[in-house]
Structure 1
Amino acid sequence: MLRFLKIFLLVVIVLAALGSWYIFHKQPQRSGEMTLSNLKAPVKVRYDERGVPHIQAQHESDMYRALGYVHAQDRLFQMEMVRRLARGELAAILGPKLLNSDKLFRSLGIREHADNYAQNMDVNTPANKALEAYLDGINQYQNTHPAPIEFDILGIKKRPFTARDSVSVAGYMAYSFAAAFRTEPVLTFIRDQLGSEYLEVFDLDWHPTGVITPQLAAHDWQNLNQLAHLSQQAVSDSGLALFEGSNAWAVSGSRTANGKPLLAGDPHIGFAVPSVWYEAHLSYPGFELYGHHQALSATASLGHNLDFGWSLTMFQNDDIDLIAEKLNPDNANQVWYQGQWVELQSRSEQIEVKDADPVTLILRRSPHGPIINDALSDQTGKTPIAMWWAFLETENPILEGFYQLNRAETLEKARAASEKIHAPGLNIVWANAEGDIGWWAAAKLPLRPKGVNPNFILDGSSAESDKLGFVPFSANPQEENPDRGYIVSANYQPVPDSGIEVPGYYNLPARGIRLNQRLADSGVKWDTQNSQALQLDAGSGYAQRLLEHLLPVIQSNSDPEDQALLQLLADWNGDHQVNDIAPTIFNQLVYQLAYEAMQDEMGEDSFKTLLKTRVIDFALPRLAADVDSAWWDNRNTPDIEDRTTTVNLAWQASLEHLRVTLGVDSENWKWGTAHTLTHGHPLGQQKPLDKLFNVGQFAAPGGHETPNNLSHKLGPAPWQVVYGPSTRRLIDFAQPSKALGTNPVGQSGVVFDQHYYDQAESYIKGQYIKQHFSEVDVAANTQSTLRLVPSN
């Protein structure tokens, strides 16, 4: 027995040693010396206490090559996953469950477009040379180091990263901004199947003063609803981040405590492990930037230095039209276009599927664009739905645009760089140390025929689906150094001075209104302290707007607890803090109101799709205010229900659900109990890997469309936060070397690394961390130094 125990102990020790050796050899190397081919001179990479690399090079190409190298050792698996998602190659490693996702992304045309774009790139431009050096750094790291643990688990074989991958990822970003896939089918369904009176609550008309101041067959609707569901599921099933919204503002020196502009930004993106942004401080003689990079992007999407800085929000402009094509009854390969029958183009692509035979997908294209419902399996009897997408139809030198934006110290240079961003639409909010602030809505805005409403699926056989050209950039919404002394961008409808209408799927104005109200207070001098409070504001006026019409018609029964809960809502100021009970009741009531009023008309599948759109946020307050709305009647009962009946049904159902889900004692209904954040890894969707790869869960303040936009899907309690501030940045240009920021999880995507989740707790607590920029601060906070030296 003793001998057996000794052998068993020895086996355990050996296995533990092998496990430790295996994990150790997967970790990033942040100290010592490594050789790197194609370097012109040595590069010094100093890592601070958060694992942020501070890269000092003597040549531009060396700087970008080093960035690619260190980015890869922290985020190689993220790079692999995001390129596979964008290019429709996930089923090859994740199996048949991702086949529909691959079909969708192939049908979008991103892969084909990226291949053509990369093939025609001028390799001699500075931006493309930077990308080439960056990708070379990634590939050199991949070729000389063990693969990440995830590669071993999934059986991923290493492949070189190319410019085609980088352009494909830009296409994925553009797709993730597009709300048309979810919104246009559901609005067209409501118009054509329910009637125009049901559209009144959605507020689809253009507001010229701003918000701060084709018939289809039944089976076609089923297919479009499936497509809308797939467009959302494609990203969530991969465990990757979806771009959702954002806040940004710039305040001129006349309104700040230090007399210099202040820039604030917090792009709202889906939470994941690792987080979307990779921070890096880059320099070579004549250039220095502290930037936030996306996977496979050489240039920073967010950045600042001592002279200037910028942030981004989603423009939300509608740059996708879904177009129902008219098929020739005598030839299923022809559609009616501009007065004649035109042949559909077609091509085939093969999708590799893990543990299954490859799948051949036939993809068709009309003169309007790719037929997107080819992503669905059976083509017979379907109306072809084409997609016109600005990303595919414009020159879109977005890589050049961001390369220039990384170097834009003047208004003129920032404006010129922004003009090169055609799709996705982005708001560039910019400031410099000289005192300028600016905002440009960067996008190629299509000119549609007069009277065409792109909220609906368009008729491909008529002129309404044609494009007449593009709006000149000078007519886009924009401002430079406004007299009021500040600029705010929060995804609401913008109104350009040119007077043009800019169709889009904009967010509620609630965040914008709240931010504007505070920034407009001339008695406040802004600094990084009160700006933190504004970024972390967990309140919203949306709740009061909705409750204003609901509370008077809710008839509380004789139960004293119900009356107390009703009074709690009446006294609530809209704040969403973790110990509050009112936001839990309110958010359950919001869902229940939508369900009781709309589910019977929409059906379960279309109702779920509606909940994933932004138009539902506009609809509910208007619905609550409209006593005569057609939505109040339940079609499934013989009676005619009115607003009072339906609202009270929603109220009682809300209380019943919370008691069943969270307990009968309402003291257990605290917001932080019902509203939580878990950062999910792509492999964390499978048990028990979730325990190893996921981070959290955390009680989360904030809520849907509050400035601290830790947002959940509209649905019943409990709620999982799905997106929110992907970073919070504050740059005071009186002290730009002392900028503040945060990362939701950590710099590293390598499990067991010390920087895998070292910022998660400070993030949820709303804490800010200094971003080291000056030589004195970088030297004082250097934890380790890696030297990259030429191989010859």
Structure 2
Amino acid sequence: MRIIKKILLILSILLLLILVVGWMYYTSLKPNYSGNINLSDIQNETDIYFDDFGIPHIYAESQQDAMTALGYVHAQDRLWQMELMRRIAPGRLSEIFGKDMLQNDQFFKSLGIEETTSKSIKNLKPASETYKLATAYLNGVNQYIENGATPIEFTLIGIEKEKYQLSDIYNILGYMSFSFAMAHKTDPLLTVLHKKLGTAYLKELSIDINPNTTLIKTSNQDIENFENLVSSVQNVMGNLPTPAFIGSNSWVVSSKKTATGNVLFANDPHIGYSQPSVWFEAHITTPNYEMYGYHIAGVPFPLLGHNRNYAYGLTMFENDDLDFYKEINHPSKENSYKTPTGYANYEITSKTIKVKDSSDVTIEVRNSRHGPIMNDVIDQISQTEPIAMSWVFTQNESEILKAMYTISHASEMNDVKKGASMIHAPGLNIMYGDAKGNIAWWAAAKLYKHKPHVNRKFILDGASSEDDIVEYLDFSENPMAENPSWEYVYSANNQPDTISNMLYPGYYLSEDRAKRIVDLIEPKNDWNKDAFGQMINDVTSAIAPKNIQQLVSTINTTALSETELKSFEILKKWDGSNQVNDVAPTIYNKWIYTYLKNTFEDELGEKLFGQFLKTHILKRMIAEQLQKDTSIWWDNIHTENKIETKKDILSSSFTEAISSLEKQLGSDISTWNWGKVHTLEHGHPLGTIDALKGYFNVGPFPVKGAREVIDNRGYTYNKSGIYNVTAGPSTRRIIDFSDIENSISILPTGQSGNPFSEHYNDQSEMYNNGEFRKMKLNKEEIIKNGTKLTIKPKK
């Protein structure tokens, strides 16, 4: 008996020790939101108050001290996210994830982002404030790496922490710039469609076919090449462990359209959902500077921000800043290609990719005068037909870091405009409002022209100079509006009007969101913060009810089954709302998919149709296509003895949709709720492992919203009828210059990327419900409700 007691005692002690050690380890991994720490290169004691949602409010005697503090607290909440972001552009994901990321690394390593980074850093003056504050931020990040806890993701994957460098910031901005582009997903696809189907089919897709366009001659091998190029690029972008930037809304109304007589500002950038979410909020105050900013991981200056004097935000311009060129190799000389002045040698660079649990992989990247040859990094493309990628970002020195500094340190409206003029790529709409009553937007991008015959939506001729860029436009020719007479500015990624006698080529979104925004803003002149809050959560489609009218006009109701007739009546009465409990959007989205499938898949084939569903072209053409009584697309090419009409396609698609929904959701239509099929899960890279999903992922949740409503949600139409939401508002943010201290915002999950933090997902329920929290500026309120972390100079 004594032996058993001793064994039990020993086991109890061991269990207690395990629990104690486990608790100590757990506690050591939590972010430090209070107490005292000592840092080098801090000149004066700096106070950081974390509010009730974990947002740091930094009070420092100088901006350099503040930036060092920012780097430290940013790293303690988001170091894992920083690590992923800095690895994408230089092709270093395979180091930690293995062979699964090799294609991604090969692709990004070929783009030239690293080379552009090197040039930009060489031209950044060490005496400039941009350099000083960026290096102060890096200093804070690196001191956390040296002295702070190691995030659990590093331990689970088995990687060491590395200090951050200025090149990491530029590489992160380079990746962000590429993720905005749409041409890499679209141009090769359109080339395939043109060669496979001809001009008549493309004209009806509203892509501005110029009858005078001279297209390069291509072979069947080209079609296969371009199909594989589209597929590979879409796979690369879909396989990244970080979110892509896809769209956005913003609107700013002047004092003449508000109840208070002050400017109101709203912005909700649309970005891929992830955990942690994209933005890290931080409020900095020094004797000569204040900014409440939204930062992406690893970048010192906020891309969104406001203070008591002005607010700025962004949406995606969606201009075309990337072109593909087909080069012609020398018939016998290796590594030589044709140029307008004769044959020239490719510039060849060898690059090595380290791969976890495998040997290093060395790739050779060839560059023509237009850019890198994509055949070298995408195995599925034939080596005999070189395709070069020309991208504005790598063709010019990047000043985006300097631009972000300039915009976030503005004294007046013209300073923000100056910062916007420095941005060459990505194309952004910079939105602006201030306490003086000014409102504005500027399209920030390096725009350019080709000769009239060139259609940039196709693969261009690289061998001659006929398809080369002929002129870069001055910033003054970019779309913009400053204090317009109509008293508001807005952007919903839609086509901008021209101020220089040309419409700028791009991959703009359909008018759905833009029309809804204008319809709401235009008639109302007593806007306030609460009304803006309702508007930014608006889920009503301005276009869907009109699309339903086309269905209603073609359906013979006498031939419908009972379930079909009930579904028809629900759609007929629908106002376009997309709330969680609505039934109509479940029916509508399924019908849209079957209509698209029955209209386009017979010509495109399954593979191209799947690629087509992922482009902006699809969103732009649905409403226009449904309006057409005659269209070359209506006919099913697989039926020999019948030419299908619009009525045939829409009617059969409706029948197919309802039949599919009955099998999926049952015969009781009242249970076909939108939230049952429209769900959101914020995925962490380690959440793909079943055993870890519950610890790292946030969700899933049934959510409101839909494609191209103001509360915009990204998902792909598919035969399953399940719409896993992949993108949407990365924040909903409203600044009220009549009550600046009570401006409001929300994040999709939480401020922290540390799963042991209480702020890992504490905003998710509020976000899903369309609620807000304050972006606090009042120091007394912040101190009263916050915890204090004091940073002292290390002696």
When normalised by structure 1's length, the TM-score is 0.96
Which residue pairs with 1:218 in the alignment? Answer: 220
* Paired position in structure 1 for 2:680: 677
* Aligned position for 2:385: 383
Structure 1 residue aligned with 2:705: 702
| Cα offset, 1:77, TM superposition | 0.2
Q: 2:76 aligns with which of 73, 76, 93?
A: 73
Runs of 5+ consecutive residues of structure 1 not aligned to the other structure? 208-213
Which range moves more in the overlay, 543-552 or 666-675?
543-552
- 1:281 is matched with 283
Partner of 1:294: 296
- Comparing 684-693 and 751-760, the one that deviates more: 684-693
- 2:351 is matched with 349
Work out the percentage of aligned pairs sharing the same amino acid.
36
SS at match of 1:21: helix
1:566 aligns with 2:568: yes
> Which residue in the other structure is 1:477 paired with?
479
Deviation at 1:251, TM superposition (A): 0.7
Residue 179 of structure 2 contacts residue 244 of structure 2 at CA under 8 Å; is this kept in 1?
Answer: yes
Give the structure 1 partner of residue 42 of structure 2. 39
The letter for the 1-side match of 2:723 is: W
Q: Which residue of 2 aligns with 1:767?
A: 771
- Per the TM alignment, residue 67 of structure 1 is displaced from its structure 2 partner at its CA by 0.4
Distance 1:787 1:37 in 2: 14
Alpha-carbon spacing, 1:234–1:15, altered in 2? closer, same or farther (3 Å): farther
Equivalent position to 2:174, from 158, 171, 174? 171
Q: Is the 8 A contact 1:235 1:241 kept in 2?
A: no
Q: After superposition, what is the alpha-carbon deviation per residue over 1:38-95, rounded to whole angstroms, capped at 9, x for unaligned?
A: 1111111110000000001111111111100000000000000011122211111111
Structure 2 unaligned residues grouped into runs of 5+: 211-215
Would the alpha carbon gap of residues 16 and 221 (structure 1) be closer, same or farther in structure 2, given more than 3 Å must change?
Answer: farther
User: Of 137, 148, 152, which aligns to 2:151?
Assistant: 148
- Larger deviation: 458-467 or 430-439? 458-467
Alignment-derived partner of residue 741 in structure 1: 745
Could you tell me which amino acid in structure 2 is paired with residue 775 of structure 1? K
Return the offset for 1:634: 2.5
Q: Distance in 1 between matches of 2:380 and 2:774?
A: 55
User: Cα gap change, 1:591/1:10 in structure 2, threshold over 3 Å: closer, same or farther?
Assistant: farther
- Aligned with 2:164: secondary structure? coil
Asked if the contact 1:449–1:463 (Cα under 8 Å) also holds between the matched residues in 2, the reply is no
SS at structure 2 position matched to 1:230: helix
Letter in 2 for 1:529: D
Native 8 Å contact 2:432 2:440 kept in 1:
yes
TM superposition shift of 1:7: 5.3
1:328 alignment partner, SS class:
coil
Q: How does 1:74-93 map to 2 (within 5 A)?
A: 74-93=77-96
Is contact 1:302–1:310 with CA below 8 Å preserved after alignment? Answer: yes
In structure 2, give the amino acid aligned to 1:191: H
Question: In 2, distance between residues paired with 1:395 and 1:672?
Answer: 46
Contact kept, 8 Å, 1:730 with 1:741, in 2: the verdict is: yes
Residues 622 and 382 of structure 1: is their aligned pair in 2 closer, same or farther, counting only changes over 3 Å? farther
Aligned to 2:540: 539
- In structure 2, relative to structure 1, the CA distance for the partners of 1:379 and 1:180 (3 Å cut) is closer
Aligned mates of 2:240, 2:202 — CA distance in 1? 34
- Partner SS, residue 712 of structure 1: coil
Q: Residues 449-470 of structure 1, C-alpha deviation per residue, up to 9 Å, x if partnerless?
A: 2231111111112334311231
Q: 1:603 to 1:465 in 2, by over 3 A?
A: same
The answer for the alignment partner of 1:211 in structure 2 is none
The answer on whether the counterparts of 1:409 and 1:432 sit within 8 Å (CA) in structure 2 is no
Matches within 5 A, 1:198-597: 198-205=201-208, 214-377=216-379, 380-521=382-523, 523-556=524-557, 557-597=559-599
1:27 maps to what in 2?
Answer: 30
Distance 2:637 2:652 in 1: 15
Distance 1:673 1:641 in 2: 38
For the residue of structure 1 that corresponds to 2:271, the secondary structure is strand
Amino acid at match of 1:790: P
| 1:665 equivalenced with 2:668 (yes/no) | yes
Q: Deviations over 1:533-588 (max 9, x none)?
A: 11011011221232232332234534212111011111111110111111011111
Q: Which moved more, 1:683-692 or 1:486-495?
A: 683-692
Query: Structure 1 stretch 641-650 or stretch 529-538: which is displaced more?
Result: 641-650
Contact preservation (8 Å) 2:225, 2:382:
no
Determine if contact 1:709/1:724 at 8 Å carries over to the other structure.
Answer: yes
Alignment of 1:134-145 (within 5 A): 134-145=137-148
Counterpart contact for 2:312–2:431, Cα < 8 Å: yes
Q: Decide which of 182, 189, 192 is 1:189's aligned counterpart.
A: 192
Q: Is residue 723 from structure 1 mapped to residue 724 from structure 2 by the alignment? A: no
Q: What does the per-residue CA deviation read over 1:768-790, in whole Å, with 9 as the maximum and x for residues that have no partner? A: 101110222222221x1111111
**Cα pair distance change 1:330/1:34, threshold 3 Å:** same
Query: CA–CA distance in 2 between the matches of 1:222 and 1:17?
Result: 61
Q: CA deviation at 1:504?
A: 0.5
Residues 628-647 of structure 1: pairs in structure 2 closer than 5 A: 628-642=630-644, 643-647=646-650
Shift of 1:102: 0.6
Task: Give the 3 Å change call, closer, same or farther, for CA 286–601 of structure 1 in structure 2.
Answer: same
Count of matched residue pairs: 784
Q: Is the 8 A contact 1:182 1:610 kept in 2?
A: no
Which residue of structure 2 aligns with residue 611 of structure 1?
613
C-alpha deviations, 1:180-215, integer Å up to 9, x for none? 1111111111111111111122112399xxxxxx34
Structure 1 position 790 matched with structure 2 position 771: no
1:704 to partner: Cα distance: 0.2
**What displacement does 1:502 show?**
0.6
691 and 764 in structure 1: CA distance in 2 versus 1, 3 angstrom threshold:
same
| Structure 1: distance between partners of 2:383 and 2:753 | 46
Shift of 1:10: 4.7
Q: Could you tell me which amino acid in structure 2 is paired with residue 246 of structure 1? A: S
Structure 2: distance between partners of 1:313 and 1:449: 29
After superposition, the C-alpha distances for 1:376-403 in whole angstroms (9 at most, x for unaligned) are 1266544111111110112331111111
CA distance in 1 between partners of 2:686 and 2:225 (Å): 30
For residues 20 and 353 of structure 1, the distance between their equivalents in structure 2, rounded to whole angstroms, comes to 35
* CA–CA separation in structure 2 for the residues paired with 1:70 and 1:361: 38
Alpha-carbon separation, structure 1, partners of 2:324 and 2:469:
13
- Please, what is the CA RMSD of the aligned residues? 1.8
Q: Which moved more, 1:304-313 or 1:614-623?
A: 614-623
State whether residues 376 and 383 of structure 2, in contact with CA within 8 Å, keep that contact through their aligned partners in structure 1: no
1:384/1:437 CA distance change after superposition, 3 Å: same
Instruction: Give distance in 2, aligned partners of 1:206 and 1:264.
Output: 36
Confirm whether residue 649 of structure 1 aligns to residue 652 of structure 2: yes
Alignment partner of 1:465: what SS? coil
The Cα of 1:648 is off from its aligned counterpart by 2.5
Deviation at residue 5 of structure 1 after TM alignment: 5.8
Farther off after superposition, 116-125 or 580-589? 116-125
Partner of 2:757: 753
Render the CA deviation track for 1:487-542: whole Å, top value 9, x for unaligned.
11110000132222210000111101110111111x43111010011101101122
Displacement of 1:703: 0.5
What code does the residue aligned with 1:539 have?
T
Structure 1: distance between partners of 2:560 and 2:716: 33
Contact 1:201 1:620 in 2 (8 A): no
SS of the residue corresponding to residue 400 of structure 1 reads: helix
CA pair 16-555 structure 1, distance change in 2 beyond 3 A = farther
User: Which residue identity is paired with 2:499?
Assistant: D
Q: Which moved more, 1:424-433 or 1:496-505?
A: 496-505
After TM superposition, the structure 1 stretch with the greater mean CA deviation from structure 2, 607-616 or 195-204, is 195-204
